[in-house]
């Protein structure tokens, strides 16, 4: 990174683009195993059937991948019960979101989303030249969908609903989402980012896939990065009205989704039972960690993803520092809170220790 002025003319809008802050890699601490619980990654290594699919696909990397992502799209269509025409893939769901902004927004159009939410949103929006309209979460760190509906203007071209919300954890309910969709213009694109949907357990959580079949303006974003453990291969997808999916495919980087990613995703769908058993294990750990933290006295919002949120305010960065000294990399959001991924059992145990110690010494 440099602050030097560029020797050529770049878009003025770049000045307003925040830099993505990746989770820190584990820093070695004498005598303990360090853990990275800062990026909401899946702690399980890939299944042997998935690494086999990747290594088979590696034999073909002199060739371009299938640009149409045909085999995976067909497998997804079967799995989700939607026609292939309604699917579009991309190099991670963040890339699909960028494609959505590209097909929906002209410069100075508005994108409404909750804040705090996923840190990629302001970046993707600012890069496109559109404007972010951030609507504060409510006191329970949930989406305030009424306020979001009120924030919609003639210039709004896209709304993003992140459920469960990264980094705070709560999920939008079926009732809330339907009430919201009934209120907003029917020609306004509403993206429901379900990166963590496989981890949800509350009965009330919205079923965006079913809702998208009823509301043609709804797009569901999903990813193989979290529950399926393929973060390193970059593959996500959207379920959308066929015309929106066609536009999304136009906006995709040609040959962006590699053959390695396509075959790993197909193998993951084939091994879904095994992968979802792991998700269930992580959900069990999440419940244990959240209950433990609340017992200690922490105000942890509803946690429906593979992470939990500690609303530390100005103590966010010092807490992350204290955790790092114990070999635990968490993700602080300065002045706001700390997001902790549910990881290996030992990492989760250590998080409970660090949190208890924090309360003892700072509380």
Q: Count CB atoms within 10 A of the CB of residue 270.
A: 16
Q: Does 92 bind ligand PLP (CB under 6 A)?
A: yes
Q: In Å, how far are 116, 131, 272 from 136, measured between CA atoms?
A: 7, 16, 36
Residues 6+ apart with CB under 8 A from 246: 85, 88
Rank residues 238 and 322 by Cβ distance to ligand PLP and give the closer one. Answer: 238
Question: In which region does residue 117 sit, left (phi positive, over 0), alpha (psi from -120 to 50) or beta (all else)?
Answer: beta
By beta carbon distance, the residue nearest ligand PLP is 92
Do 252 and 90 meet the contact criterion of CB atoms below 8 Å apart?
yes
Binding-site member from 223, 268, 306, 348 for ligand PLP (CB under 6 A)? 223
Count of positions on this chain that bind ligand PLP (CB under 6 A): 14
CA distance 185 to 234: 33
Nearest to ligand PLP of 304, 327 (CB atom): 304
**Pairing verdict, β 156-162 and 110-115:** parallel
Answer yes or no whether residue 351 interacts with ligand PLP by CB under 6 A: no
- 236 belongs to the binding site for ligand PLP (CB under 6 A): yes
Applying the rule CB under 6 A, the residues between 27 and 46 that interact with ligand PLP are 40
Segment lying near ligand PLP (by CB under 6 A), choices 88-96, 179-187, 292-300, 322-330:
88-96
Which one of residues 38, 42, 89, 93 is an interface residue with ligand PLP (CB under 6 A)? 93
Indicate whether 231 belongs to the interface with ligand PLP (CB under 6 A): yes
Nearer to ligand PLP, 39 or 296 (CB): 39
Phi, psi torsion values for 355, nearest 5 degrees:
-65, -40
Q: Which is nearer to ligand PLP, 133 or 235 (CB)?
A: 235
Taking CB under 6 A as the binding criterion, the range among 26-34, 87-95, 208-216, 349-357 that sits at the site for ligand PLP is: 87-95
Q: Which of 193, 198, 259, 315 binds ligand PLP (CB under 6 A)?
A: 193
The sheet with strand 87-90 has its strands ordered as 87-90, 236-239, 218-223, 189-193, 156-162, 110-115, 131-136
Taking contact as CB under 6 A, which single stretch among the options 125-133, 183-191, 223-231, 312-320 is the one that binds ligand PLP?
A: 223-231
Q: Are 286 and 306 in contact (CB under 8 A)?
A: yes
CB nearer to ligand PLP: pick between 95 and 322? 95
Closer of 236 and 343 to ligand PLP (Cβ): 236
Instruction: Looking at residues 131 to 170 of the shown chain, list those that interact with ligand PLP (rule: CB under 6 A).
Output: 162, 166
Closest to ligand PLP by CB, 40 or 348: 40
| Residue from 128, 217, 225, 262 in contact with ligand PLP (CB under 6 A) | 225
State in angstroms the smallest separation of the CB of 223 from ligand PLP: 3
DSSP code at position 7:
S
18 in Cβ contact with 126 (< 8 Å)? yes
Contact call for residue 304 and ligand PLP (CB under 6 A) = no
Residue 241 CA to residue 104 CA, distance in Å, equals: 14
Q: How far apart are CA 308 and CA 322, in angstroms?
A: 17
Decide if residue 184 touches ligand PLP (CB under 6 A): no
Instruction: Identify the H or E element spanning 283.
Output: helix 272-296
**At its nearest, how many Å lie between ligand PLP and the CB of residue 245?**
17
| 199 near ligand PLP, rule: CB under 6 A | no
Cα–Cα distance for residue pair 99/102, rounded to 1 Å = 5
By the rule CB under 6 A, 198 interacts with ligand PLP? no
List of residues 6+ apart from 37 with CB closer than 8 A: 307, 328, 329, 330, 331, 340, 341, 342, 343, 347, 351
**Where on the chain is the footprint of ligand PLP (CB under 6 A)?**
40, 92-94, 118, 162, 166, 193, 195, 223, 225-226, 231, 236
């Amino acid at each position: 990174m440099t602050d030097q002025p560029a020797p050529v003319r770049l878009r003025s809008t770049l000045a307003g683009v925040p830099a993505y802050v990746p989770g820190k890699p584990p820093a070695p601490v004498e005598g303990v195993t360090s853990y990275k619980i800062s990026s909401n990654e899946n702690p399980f290594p890939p299944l042997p059937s998935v690494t086999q699919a990747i290594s088979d696909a590696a034999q073909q990397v002199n060739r371009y991948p299938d640009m149409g992502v045909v085999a995976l799209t067909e497998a997804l269509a079967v799995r989700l019960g939607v026609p292939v025409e309604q699917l579009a893939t991309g190099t991670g769901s963040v890339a699909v979101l960028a494609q959505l902004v590209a097909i929906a927004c002209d410069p100075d159009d508005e994108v409404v989303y909750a804040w705090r939410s996923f840190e990629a949103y302001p970046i993707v929006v600012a890069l496109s030249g559109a404007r972010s309209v951030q609507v504060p979460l409510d006191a329970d760190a949930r989406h305030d969908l009424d306020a979001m509906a009120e924030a919609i203007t003639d210039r709004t071209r896209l709304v993003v609903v992140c459920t469960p919300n990264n980094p705070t954890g709560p999920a939008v309910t079926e009732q809330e989402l339907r009430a919201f969709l009934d209120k907003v213009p029917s020609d306004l694109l509403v993206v429901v980012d379900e990166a963590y949907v496989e981890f949800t357990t509350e009965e009330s959580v919205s079923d965006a896939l079913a809702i998208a079949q009823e509301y043609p303006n709804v797009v569901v974003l999903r990813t193989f990065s979290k529950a399926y453990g393929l973060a390193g291969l970059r593959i996500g997808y959207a379920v959308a009205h066929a015309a929106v999916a066609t536009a999304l495919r136009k906006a995709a980087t040609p040959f962006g989704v590699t053959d390695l990613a396509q075959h790993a995703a197909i193998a993951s769908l084939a091994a879904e039972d095994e992968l979802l058993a792991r998700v269930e294990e992580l959900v069990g750990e999440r419940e244990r960690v959240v209950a433990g933290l609340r017992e200690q006295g922490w105000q942890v919002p509803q946690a429906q993803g593979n992470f939990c949120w500690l609303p530390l305010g100005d103590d966010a960065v010092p807490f992350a520092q204290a955790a790092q000294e114990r070999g635990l990399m968490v993700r602080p959001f300065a002045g706001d809170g700390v997001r902790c991924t549910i990881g290996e059992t030992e990492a989760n145990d250590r998080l409970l220790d660090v949190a208890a110690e924090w309360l003892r010494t700072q509380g």
